[in-house]
Structure 1
Amino acid sequence: MKKTSLSYVHLIAFHAFIGVLVFILPFITKIYTLSIFVFGLFYIIKNRNRNNEVLIMSAYVVGAEVLLRMTNGVILNEFGKYAVMIFMFTGIIYSGFSRKALVYWIFFLLLIPGIIISVFSLNFDTDIRKAIAFNISGPVCLGISAIYCYQRKITFERLKTVIAALCFPLISITVYLFLYSPSVRDVVTSTESNFATSGGFGPNQVSTILGLGIFVFFVQLLLNSKSKFLIALNAVLVMVFAFRGIVTFSRGGVMTGVVMIILLLMILYYQGNAVAKSKIGLIMLMTFLAGIGVWGYSSFQTSGLINKRYSNQDALGRVKKSKLSGRETLIASELQMFVENPVFGVGVGRNKEIRKEETGIEAASHNEITRMVAEHGSLGLIDLMILLFTPLLLFVNNRQNIFALSFLAFWLLTINHAAMRMAAPAFVYALALLSVQIKIPEKPENSDD
């Protein structure tokens, strides 16, 4: 194997070791968290972000965030978002940003009225700072990341390196999950989202990051495997991530990963020549057959309960009344708030209080779209339109970013079932705004010359 191949394998082995280490010695994760942040800043500052080191470190944080949270390694619950924001801001200091990113400054301005309203409308006994930070940190992280990435030139090879940086900490997560629940059959007893197969952490968020893992390792398999060994290794990793994602019994992340792969293959097929199209057709067939195999194994390990989960049935085979695990009530309440407060909304964080007062349900929103319109009103609706259409317009003008639609789909589908609890949807969305260049330039990507 070539040196680059060996480095990839060594990094996978190293992160597998990290997964074992944090399982045996959980306190290590706090050191791991601090090391990531300190090294990230050092790496960016030392290189003056000449080759988008910001994206490498932000990708690594996104990949590690769930592991750090499930092992109580984060000092702040929103560490992932804050770290990405700091890295991105540091990158902007060194490399600037596009003047055409004005649309995302408008996005920021439209968030301000909702924040002001919340200061005066939140209940007296509510921790206003925490309530606002919990709900606004995701959009702010997305906005800063978008401003940094907007039409920023990056080589295709460098973008693949960013994706690889995201891969490695995901290995640690998967190893940890296998150690936490080595026997899936013993811990699956119903069709509800399973905390035991999710490392004791939220199945929704674990499924989300594992779904992203399915996609990024599929990219490694398809575009970054230069030997038979790497093809076999990455193929196994794709199937492992698919299996662990499925048995969380949280459907959103797995389905999102599948959609991302389908979009990537469609773009490659559409843009390829006759020879490439025949190869992609074969890849589609093999992917489909592998998917059937993984599903069959998952069904066997869960005694058929996973089939009932995806058919919206309980363990006895009875169809559940709710198709969205009860989220319809949250969505309906937020849409009603928008109807009653159509201009500026009810204020950031206020929707949770109103829902508790009117329905008795004390739950944070799982849907960023309805949360945005409830808390920001029509201004939130405009923001959502900015977020949806801007990357689509950029993709029309630069189709060399073959991952753009997959990245956009990850953001859109994830915020519909997991809001923006993690940094992942914000960061991955921003990657869709990059101006990818297949040809390798002679100068560094962020050279001022």
Structure 2
Amino acid sequence: MKNTKLSYSFLLLIHAVIALAVFAVPFLSKIYALIIPIVGLFIVYRTKNENNEVLLVSAYLVGVEVLLRMTGGNLNNEYIKLSVASFMLIGMIYSSFSMGAFVYWIFLLLLIPGILVTATSNDFSTDIKKALVFNLSGPLCLALCSIYAFNREITFAQLQKVVLAMGLPIISITVYLFLYNPSVQSVVTGTQSNFETSGGFGPNQVSTALGLGMFVFFTQLILFSKSKKMLILNGVLLLVISYRAIVTFSRGGVITAIVAIAALLFLLYYYSNAKVRGKLALVFILTGIMGVGIWTYSSMQTSGLIGKRYANQDAIGRVKKDKLGGREAIMDAELKIFFDNPIFGVGAGEGKEYRRKALGENAASHNEITRMLSEHGLFGIFGLLILFIMPFVLYYINRGHLYFLSFYAFWLLTINHAAMRTAAPAFVYALALLNVTNLKTNNNTVEETITS
């Protein structure tokens, strides 16, 4: 147990050092981006994916994506999604996949009509190749991750290693943010999303990554802190990551994290007896106290502006007409496109050009649901139904997945505010399809998972 703790602390330290390195020498970020898949390939080849090593490598890639983007290390915007998709294919070669996963092959087939519509388009203002890659890399990544993960057996201990692999690079992101912007007070002047507190990168994506980190280290705190030192360490990590997530002034990632954490607490409570629920009540109270504390500190550091942001007000307290930062207009335009083109849609990637004509500006979609409708029409509806329904079908059969609701909620909420800009929602969605074993729902086992 001692060695495990030292190893965990060492991994955290290494990722803090990585942040220092890429901040001091930005070019190292590109080297880092190249090393990860190379090392990952070596690990998978050496182990023959015996213990689902492709999930560990892919999880790490998912966690590091935003760090690479904000430090200029990403080779291109689709680098991580295509890398994760490639590792899933490698995993299938070594470990095959469930025949039941055919539904996600159907999902891929449903994307083809939209591709054909785009390929036969007479709109020469659209870079067809770029449009297709940008808009389909996310669904492709999701489908391949889902095919690999579909009903695949994994122990809860193995799953937590995958979850932690996503969280470790988020430590690097957090440290980098403090190096880039040590004083939040000096750069917060309004209630709009803040690029300075987001490391100079898109606040929406940074908030999404940090929100994922909030969930990861919340699980570490309440389920895997078996000593006071570990309890304090994980508690501090959770608070610090939460603070940096809040002060990005991008609400999506924070709200998503809160819902994912609430979903986990719900399932823990549901699978508990009266005695364990008593301990969980203490966890609820402590979680509430931590939440109030970090919100109060964030409010102080932003001179109360963060409260106005979440109340949808500007800096002087006036309520904004637009509640979703301009997303309503984009969603309305996409729905109109769907009603005008209900069968085939306007083609994968063509929605942006239609929105430019309707709104007078190049506005990329932030909502994967309305994008699927506008660009794929009826085929998009069928594809979405597969994505919505299949996780619950598997969960009905296999009830041992403690993180199921959290993963599903993270995917659903993220694609509604950040589309599939990053690989995170695709990969986390697939994790909801796993068949998690060795997590019995009897009272004794649940009690052992709760920190005393």
TM tier, smaller? over 0.9
Query: 2:373 aligns to what?
Result: 373
Query: 1:63 aligns to what?
Result: 63
Residue 220 in 1 paired to residue 220 in 2? yes
Q: CA deviation at 1:122?
A: 5.9
Query: 2:117 aligns to what?
Result: 117
Query: 2:284 aligns to what?
Result: 284
Query: 2:419 aligns to what?
Result: 419
Q: Distance in 2 between matches of 1:330 and 1:218?
A: 34
Query: 2:443 aligns to what?
Result: none
Equivalent runs, 1:36-435 vs 2, <5 Å: 36-121=36-121, 123-435=123-435
Q: Is the Cα contact below 8 Å between 1:122 and 1:350 reproduced in 2?
A: no
Query: Does the residue aligned with 1:254 lie in a helix, a strand or coil?
Result: helix
Residue 22 in 1 paired to residue 27 in 2? no
Query: Does the residue aligned with 2:429 lie in a helix, a strand or coil?
Result: helix
Query: 1:443 aligns to what?
Result: none
Q: Distance in 2 between matches of 1:195 and 1:314?
A: 17
Q: Is the Cα contact below 8 Å between 1:154 and 1:437 reproduced in 2?
A: yes
Q: CA deviation at 1:391?
A: 0.5
Q: Distance in 2 between matches of 1:278 and 1:36?
A: 44
Query: 2:450 aligns to what?
Result: none
Per-residue displacement from partner, 1:399-444 (whole Å, max 9, x unpaired)? 211101100100000000000000000000000000000179xxxx
Per-residue displacement from partner, 1:169-194 (whole Å, max 9, x unpaired)? 11100000000000000000000000
Q: Is the Cα contact below 8 Å between 1:114 and 1:346 reproduced in 2?
A: yes
* Structure 1 ranges of 4+ moved more than 2 A: none
Aligned length: 440
Q: Distance in 2 between matches of 1:226 and 1:388?
A: 36
Q: Distance in 2 between matches of 1:96 and 1:276?
A: 39
- Equivalent AA in structure 2 for residue 424 of structure 1: A
Q: CA deviation at 1:226?
A: 2.0
Q: Is the Cα contact below 8 Å between 2:142 and 2:430 reproduced in 1?
A: yes
- Equivalent AA in structure 2 for residue 267 of structure 1: L
Q: Is the Cα contact below 8 Å between 2:211 and 2:242 reproduced in 1?
A: yes
Q: Distance in 1 between matches of 2:94 and 2:237?
A: 36
Q: Distance in 2 between matches of 1:311 and 1:239?
A: 22
Q: Distance in 1 between matches of 2:317 and 2:140?
A: 43
Q: Distance in 2 between matches of 1:164 and 1:214?
A: 11
Q: Is the Cα contact below 8 Å between 1:193 and 1:249 reproduced in 2?
A: yes
- Equivalent AA in structure 1 for residue 348 of structure 2: V
Q: Distance in 2 between matches of 1:361 and 1:125?
A: 14
Per-residue displacement from partner, 1:27-65 (whole Å, max 9, x unpaired)? 000110111010011111110000000000000001100
- Equivalent AA in structure 2 for residue 56 of structure 1: L
TM-score by length of 2: 0.96
Q: CA deviation at 1:125?
A: 3.3
Show structure 2 runs of 5+ residues with no match.
441-452
Per-residue displacement from partner, 1:206-243 (whole Å, max 9, x unpaired)? 00010010000001111111221111100111111110
Q: Distance in 1 between matches of 2:9 and 2:83?
A: 27
Q: Distance in 2 between matches of 1:370 and 1:240?
A: 34
Q: Is the Cα contact below 8 Å between 2:126 and 2:353 reproduced in 1?
A: no
Q: Is the Cα contact below 8 Å between 1:346 and 1:375 reproduced in 2?
A: yes
Query: 1:444 aligns to what?
Result: none
Q: Is the Cα contact below 8 Å between 1:122 and 1:349 reproduced in 2?
A: no
Per-residue displacement from partner, 1:46-91 (whole Å, max 9, x unpaired)? 1000000000000000110000000110112211101101111100
Query: Does the residue aligned with 1:283 lie in a helix, a strand or coil?
Result: helix
Q: Is the Cα contact below 8 Å between 2:98 and 2:151 reproduced in 1?
A: yes
Query: Does the residue aligned with 2:408 lie in a helix, a strand or coil?
Result: helix
Q: Distance in 1 between matches of 2:342 and 2:222?
A: 46
Query: 2:32 aligns to what?
Result: 32
Q: Is the Cα contact below 8 Å between 1:122 and 1:128 reproduced in 2?
A: no
Per-residue displacement from partner, 1:125-156 (whole Å, max 9, x unpaired)? 32211111000000000000000000000011
Pick closer, same or farther for the CA change 1:280–1:144 going to 2, 3 Å.
same
Q: Is the Cα contact below 8 Å between 1:63 and 1:167 reproduced in 2?
A: yes
TM-score by length of 1: 0.97
Q: Distance in 2 between matches of 1:171 and 1:112?
A: 39
Query: Does the residue aligned with 2:197 lie in a helix, a strand or coil?
Result: helix
Query: Does the residue aligned with 2:124 lie in a helix, a strand or coil?
Result: coil
Q: CA deviation at 1:2?
A: 0.7
Comparing 389-398 with 59-68, greater Cα deviation is found at 389-398
Query: Does the residue aligned with 1:196 lie in a helix, a strand or coil?
Result: coil
Q: Is the Cα contact below 8 Å between 2:167 and 2:212 reproduced in 1?
A: no
Q: Is the Cα contact below 8 Å between 1:408 and 1:432 reproduced in 2?
A: yes
Query: Does the residue aligned with 1:184 lie in a helix, a strand or coil?
Result: coil
Pick closer, same or farther for the CA change 1:162–1:122 going to 2, 3 Å.
farther
Q: Distance in 1 between matches of 2:433 and 2:145?
A: 10
Query: Does the residue aligned with 1:185 lie in a helix, a strand or coil?
Result: coil
Q: CA deviation at 1:359?
A: 2.5
- Sequence identity, in percent? 59
